[in-house]
Amino acid sequence: MEKPPIVSAAEWQRARDELLVAEKEATRAQDAIAARRRRLPMVAFRNDYEFDGPDGKKTLLDLFGEQVQLAVYQFMDRGPDAFCPGCTWFTDNVAHLAGLHEAGVAWATVSDMPLSQIETYKKERGWTLPFYSSHGTTFSDDCGAGRGFLLSLFLRDGDAVYRTYSTTSRGVDRVLFVNNILDLAPYGRQQDWEDSPPGWPQYPTYG
């Protein structure tokens, strides 16, 4: 297997410092994008959707709990006994919700799958995060997720709810803990779309 050049510690540090310049440029660009994101206009959103949960019906307002901000991940519905591997991977990565709560952000995973299907899969995967069914509602379509996946952020002011941000595809990918650590690792994510040295281990993304 071909490897990058083996060099002295001093040569490595020079190459690392050059890469750090590019990394800092990317960080500053991300900071500027985040500042624009915080200034996006908001859109009023219905607050009366009813979701099925293990403790009964919940409205969109209920999903906020005591928080004024809410993050919702919409998990794809692929039919009975079929589960999106990407959504599963994303949900496996959701952690430390207490940290979000400390910053005033509630979390909810929502899917058009019936609640019974969700509960069975939660038990199989060992998930304990809040997970609700939007089956029979227009929530997914109204968010623009359709039959896909989406991450949306909401803000409440009293009983009024506003949608502030949404993202999908690689926008969702960038928040995953494991993926971000793997991007720093020598072999990367080991997925066949990556630009890696010849001979580096690579596999289909969901293989």
For residue 112, the domain's CATH number is 3.40.30.10
The verdict on 117 and 49 lying in the same domain is: yes
pLDDT tens column, 165-182:
999 999 999 899 999 999
What are the pLDDT digits (tens) for 85-121?
A: 999 999 999 999 999 999 999 999 999 999 999 999 9
Question: What mean pLDDT do residues 29-57 have?
Answer: 96
Question: Could you tell me if 132 and 206 lie in one domain?
Answer: no
Q: What is the mean pLDDT of residues 47-66?
A: 96
Whether residue 1 is predicted with pLDDT greater than 90 in this model: the reply is: no
**Spatial distance between the Cα atoms of 167 and 69, rounded to a whole number of angstroms:** 16
pLDDT given at position 9: 98
Q: Which of 71-80, 138-147, 149-158, 198-207 has the lowest mean pLDDT?
A: 198-207
On whether both 49 and 133 belong to a single domain, the answer is: yes
- Residue 141 and residue 82 in one domain: yes
Say yes or no to pLDDT of 42 above 80.
yes
The whole-number pLDDT of residue 207 equals 63
Closest by Cα among 183, 184, 173, 177 to 206:
173
Enumerate residues 6+ apart whose C-beta is below 8 A from 122. 128, 131
Asked if residue 149 and residue 86 are part of one domain, the reply reads yes
Q: Identify the residue whose tokens are 């969700």.
A: 118
Same structural domain, 104 and 125 = yes
Identify whether residues 147 and 194 lie together within a single domain: no
Domain enclosing residue 193, as ranges: 176-207
What does the alpha-carbon distance between residue 171 and residue 184 come to, in Å, rounded to a whole number?
18
67 within domain boundaries: yes
In a domain, 182, yes or no: yes
Q: Is residue 1 part of a domain?
A: no
Are 72 and 101 in the same domain?
yes
pLDDT of residue 3: 83
pTM for the whole thing? Answer: 0.92
Neighbours of 74 (CB within 10 A): 27
What does the pLDDT read at residue 2?
77
Note whether 86 and 24 are same-domain residues: no
141 within domain boundaries: yes
Q: How many percent of the chain have pLDDT more than 90?
A: 92
Q: Is residue 119 part of a domain?
A: yes
Query: Does residue 19 lie in a domain region?
Result: yes
User: What is the amino acid identity at position 165?
Assistant: Y
Asked whether residue 145 falls in the same domain as residue 59, the answer is yes
Would residue 4 count as lying in a domain?
no
Total domains in the chain come to 3
Mark whether 157 and 107 lie in a shared domain.
yes
171 within a domain of the structure (yes/no): no
Residue pair 165/40 in contact (Cβ under 8 Å)? The answer is yes
pLDDT band at 199 (very low <50, low <70, confident <90, very high): confident
CB 55 within 8 A of CB 132: no
Same domain for 17 and 104: no
